[in-house]
Amino acid sequence: MIHKGLPDPAEGLSIVLCGPAGLGIQTVEYLLTRIFKLAGYNVFATKEYMSRVRGGMNSTTIRVSSVPVKAFVDRIDILVALGAGAIAHLSRRVEAETIVFGQRQSLESELASTSCSFFDVPLSQTALAVGDKIYSNTVATGIIAGVFGIELQMSIKFLHKYFAGKSVEVVQKNIQALTAGYEIGRQLVRTGRIEISIEKDAAVAEQILLGGAEAVGLGAIAGGCNFISSYPMSPSTPVLVFMAKHSNEFGIIAEQAEDEIAAMNMAIGAWYAGARAMVTTSGGGFALMTEGLSLAGMLESPMVIHLAQRPGPATGLPTRTEQADLELALYAGHGEFPRIILAPGKLADGFYLTQKAFNLADKYQMPVFVLTDQYFIDTYYNIPAPDLSHLKVEEYVTETKPDYRRYELTADGISARGIPGFGTGLVYVDSDEHTVEGCITEDLQLRVKMVDKRLKKLEAAKSEIIEPELVGPTNYKRLVICWGSTYNIVSEALCRLNRDDLAMLHYKQLYPLPTSTAEYLKKAQETIIVEANATGQFAKLIKLATGISIEQKILNYSGLSFTVEQVVESLEKLMKVYAYEH
């Protein structure tokens, strides 16, 4: 069987690695994506995995292309089955055109129910010949590198770098496994059984391979974050790990707290002392932080919360993805106080929005959410390095005088924020309602003034609102609305549909909702919203703010991300129904 690429070369190849947890699939993903990038290919990768240390089935999708690719697709061109159950696990995505690399002995029963093209490759035998079955994943890496004709010495050089902390023997064994696998891949090409032709992209050499967790972490560092306190909880943990890993380089205190309540209160204390702090958590963990969130609201303390969404309620699906915590972030905390909610779409947004979140929190003295999800955090692809020239750490701290009053009533609700020890004034804060000095009070007339003062800050923050991004024709008749991590998936779907009456409106600021929303919606004859939740939470927020109902919804709450094909199919179906009815 000869495989000569795809009908549309711009889509590149979709390679999926699948097997039980514990087989090192993440290692293969890491090695292959870096090797592809070094070889000059555009790369995209994302993963889906079960909440188990061993067993179950995990998979990683890697797209390799001559042009930038940044979205998850259903299609599998090459499946590397690293163990029994891999084909069955992905049966919905495996088609006749799919090429499967694996060992017939372990996949025999699964192959009987599929018409895919199968290549029997001796993963285990080759690894055992090197010294241990554990090297099977490195053999698989070599096979793919060999099929693509990537320079062997370049791959070996990267392997040296990756295993630099291991013993000489481990490095050498992995090089042997890679070389043996590479020869298997080259043999498949030489015998004409497989042929892949994807052009390289010279621009890739100057770009970086960035993941969602890294984007948020780097954005926090660029925003001046010097304190992070969190309790580990997937899928937010990689941000804590990233910040801890680089804490010495950037002067960051990274504290793994005993629980989420402590983490939130530590961060509030850090802001009070003059630090720029962040917590990173997921829905169940944030639920424990809501009392602290109200404390931040009453204290008018800046706060940055990275909330990486996963399916609930309760423990739900702890390693899967969803966009179902928007309303949680919007309404969390008792009492009424302002907050800002940002939701990055592209990885670059993860960097810039997190950086901006610290400046907004500091300036307006309120909580700012960076709302991501498992799909965003565990996805990475190559992008140009962020432009740092216009970024600035904006600090809004006042040197206090003896007559300093922390909660001075002002026209915009923002009072000067002092920190203990910086000046001669007393910085007094209280979780009870308080006077302008910060002392506890039950003056009910003053209570009204203080509530109004806090809420005024949200109006002031609207001067820096981030407008939604329109992708596609400005004279659209049909408008697809989305937010957060669905940006690249929906935009690629629209590219495939290639209609001159169809546009996408993507939001990366969800609250306060941009006032331009109503104008965009009224211009469309048909509006459709794409959300990864069951109730259309953003559609409800839009109706609340504009009075406009979005009746046509594409909702996904399976725990897996949308795919490009899924969005294309759903849009086509909805547009046909609309055309018929009108």
pLDDT at 6 exceeding the cut of 80? no
Mean pLDDT of the chain: 95
pLDDT tens for residues 290-299? 999 999 999 9
Question: Tell me: the pLDDT tens digits for 394-413?
Answer: 999 999 999 999 999 999 99
The per-residue pLDDT for range 124-176, each reduced to its tens digit, is 999 999 999 999 999 999 999 999 999 999 999 999 999 988 999 999 999 99
Q: 469-471 and 418-423: which strand pairing?
A: unpaired
Which SS3 state, helix, strand or coil, does residue 136 take? helix
pLDDT at res. 53: 78
- Span 307-320, average pLDDT: 97
**Contact predicate 218/250, CB 8 Å:** no
Q: Look up residue 553 and give its two tokens.
A: 């919804």
The structure tokens listed for 255 are 């504290």
Q: What is the DSSP string of 273-329?
A: TT--EEEEE-HHHHHHHHHHHHHHHHHT--EEEEEEE---STT--TTS-----HHHH
Distances, alpha carbon 486 to alpha carbons 93, 98, 343, 379, in Å:
20, 26, 10, 12
Domains of the chain, by residue range, sit at: 9-206, 209-383, 398-447, 469-581
Question: Residues 495-512: pLDDT tens digits?
Answer: 999 999 999 999 999 999
* Cis check: omega of the bond before 232, within 30 degrees of 0: no
Q: Which fold has domain 209-383?
A: Rossmann fold (3.40.50)
Q: Which helix (H) or strand (E) holds 368?
A: strand 367-373
Q: What is the pTM of this model?
A: 0.96
CA distance 444 to 190: 85
DSSP-assigned letter for residue 385: P
In sequence order, the 6+-apart residues with CB closer than 8 A to the CB of 200 are 39, 40, 41, 66
Same fold, 209-383 and 469-581: yes
- Distance, CA of 138 to CA of 143 (rounded, Å): 9
Cα separation, 47 vs 287, whole angstroms: 26
What is the per-residue pLDDT for 54?
78
- Pairing assessment for the beta strands 526-531 and 552-555 based on DSSP bridges: parallel
How does residue 580 score in pLDDT terms, banded at 50, 70 and 90? low
Q: What is the third-level CATH fold of 9-206?
A: Pyruvate-ferredoxin Oxidoreductase; domain 3 (3.40.920)
* pLDDT per residue as tens digits for the range 38-95: 999 999 999 999 988 777 899 999 999 999 999 999 999 999 999 999 999 999 999 9
Kindly report the CA angle at 514 between 285 and 537, in degrees rounded to 5? 45
CB-based contact 581:526 (threshold 8 Å): no
Whether residue 8 is predicted with pLDDT greater than 70 in this model: the reply is no
Gap between the terminal Cα atoms of the chain:
48
Percent of the chain with pLDDT over 90: 91
Q: Is residue 9 pLDDT above 60, yes or no?
A: no
What pLDDT is recorded for position 181?
97
Handedness of CA 151, 157, 161, 165 (dihedral sign): positive
**CB neighbourhood size of 207 (10 A):** 17
Residue pointed to by tokens 């285990």: 124
pLDDT at 115: 87
- Side-chain-side CA neighbours of 413 within 13 Å: the count stands at 22
Residue 472 in this model has a pLDDT that exceeds 70: yes
pLDDT of residue 86: 94
Q: Answer yes or no: CATH 3.40.50.10800 is held by domain 469-581.
A: no
Q: How many CB atoms lie within 10 A of CB 490?
A: 27
> Would you place residue 581 in the very low, low, confident or very high pLDDT band (cuts 50, 70, 90)?
confident
Give dist(CA 490, CA 344) in Å, integer: 14
Spatial distance between the Cα atoms of 328 and 313, rounded to a whole number of angstroms? 11
SS3 557: coil
Angstrom distance (rounded) from CA 273 to CA 566: 49
The CB-side HSE value for 405 (13 A sphere, CA atoms) comes to 11
In this prediction, residues 360-373 reach a mean pLDDT of 98
d(CA 402, CA 407): 15
* Cα–Cα distance for residue pair 189/485, rounded to 1 Å: 38
